[in-house]
Amino acid sequence: MGRARGDLAATISAVSAALSALAILGVVVALYFQIQQTEIARVDALMTHRSELLMFAIGEPELLVSWGFDPSGNASVAKLQAYASMVFNHMWASFELNRLTPEELEYTCKRIFKNEVVTTWWGESRAIYHGYRSLPLGRRNFPELVDRVYYASAAQRRQATDRSPAQRTAPGP
């Protein structure tokens, strides 16, 4: 009987230790996800603040120089570049948080890169996106996917400009 009590006590102790370990593991996992959520909220707040400041500057083009956009030559080009910056930041965050699929990103970029100003802006700014740190739980290939569309768009433009005027007006195959 004494031995049975000892075995029972040992079993209860082992179960208690296992439950305690699971509880501690649960706390660790909860803290991990809390840290990730806090980082995502911080990035979202910074992006919202940046967008608000850029929108104010778009309304007052002389302020765009504070963001690295030169309105002295053509204010509408500087405004479009500033807006493109906001759009690409939004797409980056949406993609990182799995709210924008690779197919949606590619589809959107194909349309965006039809505009020469935006295409030029990406060509000048793309290195910044390659240096971004990924968000927690995020994906790291946003700039690579955008670059793939960017280079395909540039190749199509070169082909279009390389053709003779007669070839440009001739119907395709």
For 69, list phi and psi in degrees, rounded to 5: -105, 135
pLDDT at 96: 84
List the domain range (segments joined by +) for residue 69: 36-165
Residue 90 lies in a domain: yes
Residue 28 lies in a domain: no
Please report, as a single letter, which amino acid is at residue 157.
R
Q: Average per-residue pLDDT in the chain?
A: 85
Residue 147 lies in a domain: yes
Residue 18 lies in a domain: no
Query: Taking the complete model, does pTM exceed 0.75, yes or no?
Result: no
In tens, the pLDDT along 113-125 reads 999 999 999 999 9
Q: Residue 137: pLDDT above 70?
A: no
Number of domains in the chain: 1
Residue 130 lies in a domain: yes
Residue 75 lies in a domain: yes
Residue 3 lies in a domain: no
Residue 67 lies in a domain: yes
Say how many Å lie between the first and final Cα of the chain, rounded.
94
In tens, the pLDDT along 16-25 reads 999 999 999 9
